[in-house]
Structure 1
Amino acid sequence: MFRKMLWPSLFGLVGCAVLLALGFWQVERLAWKEALLAGIEARIADAPVALPDAPQEAQHQYLPVELSGVIREGEIAILASLRTAGPVYRIIRAVQTDAGRRILVDMGFVRETERAAERPGGAEVDLVGNLYWPDEIDRFTPAPDRDEGIWFARDIPAMAEALDTEPVLLVLRESPQTDLGVTPFPVDTGAIPNDHLSYAITWFLLAAAWMGMTLYLLWRIRQRIN
């Protein structure tokens, strides 16, 4: 009986140990991801500073910035979705700062029915937002429908070329005193995946199932021997 049950027992224990190790590894990854997200959220909500001379993604992603300037004519409407509002359009406009620089500003969103409404241009505004380099482009992203004026992702170089600005995007964090005809759509960590808890639970459930099947197999072997 010992020889017949040895290898199934070892196989079951080793398999269960591997699955448990993967589960505990995901628990460690969960703690790491939660700390990372907390750090990003703290940076997003930090006190704003002046616009850097040469913003770089590696150094200035999520950096809070405040600036004053004038909203220039023209805009880009980017099709997006909100859980509470359904399909919406992000409105991207060019702002010329008091220092003479032109940058992209994600003003916020409007509903589908409000896309054709006129929004003020030439207004002097004080803006507070976060520098952001979105990762929204892949080989499946459709090209902008320039006839309809609809874009499908925030492609910073292409938007900068279209609106004649620096390739720098500021996403508004709060509405300025001037009514811009949009609702702010601020940067947050919602787009950063954090599935480590579900992965950990899956590995632990597989370990339990593996151990259960091992015990059942050993019981069957013992029944046949007896």
Structure 2
Amino acid sequence: MLFALIAFVALGVWQVKRLHWKHDLIARVNARVHAAPATLPSARRLASAPAHALDYMRVKVSGTYAAPQTALVRAATELGTGYWAMTPLHIADGRTVWINRGFLPAGTTVFEAARTTPPGPVTVTGFVRASEPGGSLLQSNRPQDDRWYSRDVAALSKAKRSGPAAPVFIDAQTENAARHAAGKPAPVPGLTVIHFPDNHLQYALTWFAMAALSLVAIGVVWRRRA
């Protein structure tokens, strides 16, 4: 019981530390998503930054889409199940970055998705997101069959032969183009889910309660033996 007491206290303290970390994370993300859009960080910074370090940074990029390299990635959103329309954007500084243009309903084909891509110059404002290598929790990406369950930019670039791309993608919030595409329906942008579960206080109180019960049990056993 003494060992259990120590373990429960340690778990409670750990959850308190996690609570402070989560609140710092939420504050940092809230500041990023409401900030004025910045330029996409340099290639060196993107390559050296730890995974997710730049998540939800609000950026604005301009360039032209490579519509033939469009891919559809399985998605479940508030609008239902369907796909994310992923298309590489060749930006003015010579780099390529994948854009999640938004949600398309189930049944949409890659050809139909590509037809919704604006020709000519386009400006996209959105959030930087880390690449999602491998696939989803239950299903792996199958590049050979053009079946995608996660937004793995390296695998997409290789499968679609779009050339080297930034190690992140951008979740589009707005898309402004000089010319509009004829294809319909257009992807629905702005569906980025920004939610971080914050149950650490509840967990901490649970562990501290278990520690208190362990202390009571120790007292009961001690008295009986005495």
Give the shorter-chain TM-score range.
Answer: 0.7 to 0.9
Residue of structure 1 aligned with 2:188, choices 180, 183, 207: 183
Question: How far did 1:47 drift?
Answer: 1.7
**TM-score for the superposition, normalised by structure 2:** 0.73
How big is each residue's C-alpha offset from its partner over 1:182-205, in whole Å with a ceiling of 9 and x where there is no partner? 112555543x66553343133123
Equivalent residue number for residue 76 of structure 1: 71
Percent identity of paired positions between Structure 1 and Structure 2: 24
How big is each residue's C-alpha offset from its partner over 1:60-118, in whole Å with a ceiling of 9 and x where there is no partner? 72333212222222211111222x23422111102222344432111111121445634
Partner SS, residue 214 of structure 2: helix
For the residues of structure 2 that align with 1:90 and 1:141, how far apart are their CA atoms?
Answer: 16
Bigger radius of gyration? 1
Residue of structure 1 aligned with 2:140, choices 120, 126, 142: 142
**TM-score for the superposition, normalised by structure 1:** 0.73
8 Å contact kept, 1:129–1:186: no
For the residues of structure 2 that align with 1:150 and 1:109, how far apart are their CA atoms?
Answer: 16
CA RMSD after TM alignment: 3.3
How big is each residue's C-alpha offset from its partner over 1:25-70, in whole Å with a ceiling of 9 and x where there is no partner? 3113201221123213322332222234415151772333212222
| One-letter amino acid of the structure 2 residue matched with residue 202 of structure 1 | T
Question: How far did 1:150 drift?
Answer: 2.3
How big is each residue's C-alpha offset from its partner over 1:132-152, in whole Å with a ceiling of 9 and x where there is no partner? 2234537975232544x3211
Equivalent residue number for residue 199 of structure 1: 203
Equivalent residue number for residue 36 of structure 2: 47
Give aligned pairs, total: 208
How big is each residue's C-alpha offset from its partner over 1:111-170, in whole Å with a ceiling of 9 and x where there is no partner? 2144563423424311112332234537975232544x3211111211122251432244
8 Å contact kept, 1:44–1:187: no
For the residues of structure 1 that align with 2:216 and 2:202, how far apart are their CA atoms?
Answer: 21
For the residues of structure 1 that align with 2:172 and 2:30, how far apart are their CA atoms?
Answer: 13
Which ranges in structure 1 are unaligned for 5 or more consecutive residues?
Answer: 1-10
For the residues of structure 1 that align with 2:30 and 2:172, how far apart are their CA atoms?
Answer: 13
For the residues of structure 2 that align with 1:94 and 1:21, how far apart are their CA atoms?
Answer: 47
Matched, 1:151 2:148: yes
Equivalent residue number for residue 38 of structure 1: 27
Task: Say if 1:205 and 1:103 are closer, same or farther in 2 by CA, change over 3 A.
Answer: same
